[in-house]
Amino acid sequence: MHYRVPDTFDEKPQDLPDPDVHVAEAEKNLLRTVGAFSLPPSNVQILLLQAYFRWLHPSQHILDKDDFWKDYEAGRASLLLLHGKFLQPQPAVMKQS
């Protein structure tokens, strides 16, 4: 079963609560300060995503690879999804280094 990645990624921080949720500005600032809305450099992102699709995707087939890459290249990949995919292949990438 595959789930389409939502079209939510652009230049602004993503996955913030809607304005009517009333999350304290201090909490948002704290999350920004600790890097919750940051991404690694583009070349590192590509390396981690390639490792994910090479080593983990064949056994954890939860994304449509072609749709994901289209969304990623168009800047529409979910920040939360990207963070999850960046964390998964780190041991495999570190072994290759």
Higher pLDDT, residue 89 or 66: 66
**The domain containing residue 51 runs over which residues?**
19-96
- For residue 4, the model assigns a pLDDT of 54
Q: Is residue 91 part of a domain?
A: yes
Q: Is residue 45 part of a domain?
A: yes
Q: Is residue 8 part of a domain?
A: no
Q: Is residue 7 part of a domain?
A: no
The residue with tokens 């990624």 is 9
Q: Is residue 75 part of a domain?
A: yes
Q: Is residue 3 part of a domain?
A: no
Highest mean pLDDT among 4-13, 29-38, 49-58, 69-78: 69-78
Q: And the tokens for 27?
A: 């909490």
Return the closest-CA partner of residue 16 out of 1, 5, 30, 2: 30
User: How many structural domains are present in the chain?
Assistant: 1
| Residue 42 clears pLDDT 80, i.e. is over it | yes
* Mean model confidence pLDDT for the chain: 77
Does the pTM surpass 0.75? The reply is no
**Residues in Cβ contact with 13 at an 8 Å cutoff, skipping those fewer than 6 apart:** 32, 37, 79
Q: And the tokens for 96?
A: 């290759």
Q: Is residue 26 part of a domain?
A: yes
